Amino acid sequence: MASEMIFILELGLILTLGVIGSDTIKKLHLPEILGFILMGILVGILFRPFGLFQEDYTDITNIVVAIALGFIGFNLGSELDWKTIKSMSKKVFVVLMFEGLITFFIVGAIVYLITTEFYIALLFGALSSATAPAGTAAVFWEYECRGPLTTTTMLILALDDILAIILVDFALDYSGIYLEGTTVNLFHLLFPVIFDVGLSLLIGLIIGIPLSYKLNKEEEHGEFVDLIIGTVLVCIGISGILGISYILPTMVIGITVASITKKPVISQRKKKLLEKLLEKSQIKDMKLDIEQELLTISEDSVAEPHQVFHEVFRIASPIVALFFVLIGLSLDLSSLTQIGFLGIVYMIGRTLAKTFGAYLGASIVNAEEVVRKYLGPCLYSQAGVALGLAVLISEKLTLLGEPTVGILILNTITATTVIFQIFGPIAIKWAVDKAGESNICD
């Protein structure tokens, strides 16, 4: 029993101190996500010497990561709709290819010049293309960002890590050929990606269409927040069982609901509220004011945003906060001492390549000026996907008889992730401010 209570105490400390950290960091005009991550790092430094936070958080972290990424995917999707995606899909695909592949080639070339090993260069190049959708999306929602930069970035985030997975599979296949003499299996390379994307679309539509139908039957969507949360959790569970992305299927649910569900009408909702107030009011002057207000309301329908989506994310926000604090708690600061020249060059090369690739791709498709100028900084963050792929690479290289190279890659990605996790949100905040898409003033 004592151990369970200590565990509850630790969770309470994580959330409480995380909120304190985020409030403090916001006073410095920095994104709150940075406060969560830094407080997670500080919690580990301050409390571990006193016997707290000694447990292995792997199990709870896996659950929190799944739920947080699932709800982040849903909220990413709820900010979009099929019409918007259809109008931008070709442009976004071109930008994705340029920013992802240019980063792959530039970082790969730099690493090759340092190591003179082509397979190592390919592996670093593939890892460099991955981004961190959770942190980027969190900054967008905190500052209520709206505009072409925000929309383009969200679409890129949904696809960027798929490209990274493809590139890593390709690099690992080449490494196998080089180190062991095996042959490339094209089916093995492409099938997991096609399976992941296809199944994600199918699950999202199977869940999203009936949910939209149910919401369309009811005038007050806010009563169905619990239903939406339940269906998103079901989707997360199914995705985990099938071993596919948590973000993609829940994002499809969000897009489907945003596309199909009828939006509430401002004028008619306001009219009904005033009519109810008029019935209950006993004050003559107040009744006259309400009657006058009713006369000014147009019969025209003016659609308002789905406020139910914001309610869903507000309820899920403690899980998302816990997710970022746990990221900070799990970061190994000692890895920074192992970053070395290769790590520094990797960071500089990746940052410049993301910036140049995003600018070039956006220029080719004639995207808005704010997208051309500021998309790159929105893609600097590097987190879970890159780390997960680095672990996979390390394990595979160990089996191929190159454990030292695997450790080198894992340590470099871990160390650079610490820096990108801190630097990335600041760059995103700067970009949306410059683009004029932040709707909250500091």
Across all residues in the chain, what is the average pLDDT? 77
Tell me what pLDDT residue 363 has.
92
What is the percent of the chain where pLDDT is above 90? 14
89-93, 111-115, 294-298, 411-415: least confident range = 294-298
- Tokens representing 19 are 């909120």
* Residue entry with tokens 């003016």: 302
| 8 A C-beta contact, residue 88 and residue 155 | yes
Reported as a single tens digit per residue, the pLDDT across 106-135 is 999 999 999 888 989 999 999 998 887 777
Model pLDDT, residue 305: 45
> pTM for the whole thing?
0.69
CA neighbours within 13 Å on the CB side: how many for 53? 22
CA dist 43 and 21 (Å) reads: 10
pLDDT above 90 (res 352): yes
Is the Cβ–Cβ distance between 309 and 256 less than 8 Å?
no
Contacts of 163 (CB under 8 A, 6+ apart): 96, 97, 100, 101, 129
What residues does CATH 1.20.1530.20 cover in the chain? Answer: 57-262+304-435
CB 156 within 8 A of CB 76: no
Give the model's confidence band at 304: pLDDT under 50 very low, under 70 low, under 90 confident, else very high: very low
Confidence of residue 303 (pLDDT cuts 50, 70, 90): very low
CATH (residue range 57-262+304-435): 1.20.1530.20
Low-confidence winner among 290-294, 309-313, 351-355 (lowest mean pLDDT):
290-294
The predicted pLDDT at position 88 comes to: 65
39-92 tens-digit pLDDT: 777 877 777 676 666 665 556 767 877 888 788 778 777 777 777 677 666 788
CA distances from 113 to 105, 106, 121, 442 (A): 12, 11, 9, 44
pLDDT classification of 348: cutoffs 50, 70, 90 = very high
Task: State which of 80-84, 185-189, 207-211, 338-342 shows the largest mean pLDDT.
Answer: 207-211
pLDDT at residue 259, rounded to an integer? 82
pLDDT tens-digit readout, 257-283: 888 876 655 445 555 555 555 555 555
The yes-or-no verdict on residue 253 having pLDDT over 80 is yes
pLDDT at 99: 92
- Which whole number is the average pLDDT over 157-167? 78
- Which residue bears the tokens 């500052």? 143
Whole-number Å distance between alpha carbons of 442 and 434:
14
Q: What is the mean pLDDT of residues 313-317?
A: 73
